[in-house]
Structure 1
Amino acid sequence: MLQVVLSGLIFGCVYGLAAFGLVLIFKTTGVVNFAQGEMAMITTFISYQFLKKLNMPYAISFFLALVVAAIIGFLIYLFFMKWVQSEHHLNQMVITLGLFLVINGVAGLIWGHTPTSFPVAIEGEPLNIGSVFITPNEIFLVGLTIVVMALFYLIFKYSKVGLAIRTSAQDITASKLMGIKVSKVFMTTWVVSSVLGGIAGMMTAPITYLTTNMMFDVVIMAFAAAVLGGFVSLPGALFGGLVIGLIEGLISYYIGPEFKVVFTFLLIVIVLYIRPQGIFGGRKTIKKV
């Protein structure tokens, strides 16, 4: 039982990071980025090229892949999202859906669809803690999640960039009147979200397989985590990811892995029905007319 809980929480860290990127873009721009998973997948494939084709050390490959992820986020904003940021959010979401299809298709043409093993960050024998086994790579995954979340918390809480992002998320018009360059804020959120997705992708590949569809289930769970957390709460994204990972693990163990997506969607429906604003979404306000 404890092993199931631990495994669920480890996957929950991945879902939380992916959800964090989704929530960041939605909170700032109002857009649900359906291409988040494919951006992460591309980053992971590029990291694999650095590792296996160029024989680079893991740390250097990891860093360079995140640089590429930042460039991908920047280019997507520059060539696609920048020109429609004043359009209806539905139009912008359709563009991200189109990007999802295009990126997935291009990746399939370049790298094929055969699953490939992705090397772990840290090799070693599993550690036995009581009745629970945990690998060094899983410890690295959890530690990396904590560090990344703490780093971004400090950035958003205390830096000028974080203040600009939080202000723009509250009121775009007021932000413009205050002299904040909203376009740069939007660009920054796309870059940061792409980097977070890249980290999630490189953490997913070693515990599954490297394939063009590797992020599909992860993004579904990330959406569920974002909904559970309120879709506007950054801490809620991590909390939602951990809860979804735990529920997924328990469902897979007691009912069957084929039912995990079904129950995840059921959870989304229940949360939206009972508390549409999510657990961390604050109070629902009703305007009097």
Structure 2
Amino acid sequence: MEFLRHTGARIEEMLETSHHALVQYRLPTTGEIVPLLQIAPSKTDQERVLLVNLELADVLAAIVRRVRDPRTGAIPLLAAYDYEERIWNPPAPLLFQWDRAGEPSRMSGEFIRRALAEVLAFIGLTDTTGRPMDFAPHDFRRMFITDAIRSGLPPHIAQVIVGHTNINTTRGYNASTPPRPSKPTASSSSAAAPCAPPRSTTPPLKPSGRTSSATSNAASSRSAPAPAHTAPPACTSTPAPDARSFDLTRPNGRGLPRSATT
């Protein structure tokens, strides 16, 4: 749930995220190491790169510690089947895997949906009429977009972050579109937007209707996009987290590889 909330990734992209997706970029101006998260191509066949903020770094570190082999420190390699492409992907250190009868296995979309339903049933979350709330993974994607735009991120930047080909799709995901577009300012640029504090909490959703698209998610984080071949924007109000301080380095201690695409 935290991964979906902080990345706005589709559930297919979430399940294909591996340890290799955790990369780092060294700013040429200051030499600062900035952790990044690569989102594998899915629905639109476009790879995206997200700037990892403090909250997302904490989530990723917890996931890495959970899936690592306690004896070797390595993440088990899994050859998962891609139901969309109908092919077997090569073995990879997938982050979303679980112990299935003593054998590591990749989580499925149905597994995630069932676990989410169990959590909601345990919490007993209800809407204003007292009816139980029913969330799908895709609802977190809607919350991510809504919270990002409410925090001052321009819709066209949010479109790039979540991987929409049409900005109208992004606007449709936003639960509360501002009454009029704000003028571009330095504070609403892609570099400053991730640092802007949220003005309100995440709005409640309607009792969920399952969406027909590949399920996804959303968040209270404000990750700025890092286009290919360009340095990612540095946060001016909050220092970017060092990958090593969040246990995102590889077991051999050499750190994460620099992405060829960044």
**Same fold, TM exceeding 0.5?**
no
Report the structure, 1 or 2, having the larger strand content.
Answer: 2
Report the structure, 1 or 2, having the larger helix content.
Answer: 1
Q: Which has the higher contact order (CA 8 A, sep 6+)?
A: 1
What TM-score, normalized to structure 1? 0.21
What TM-score, normalized to structure 2? 0.23
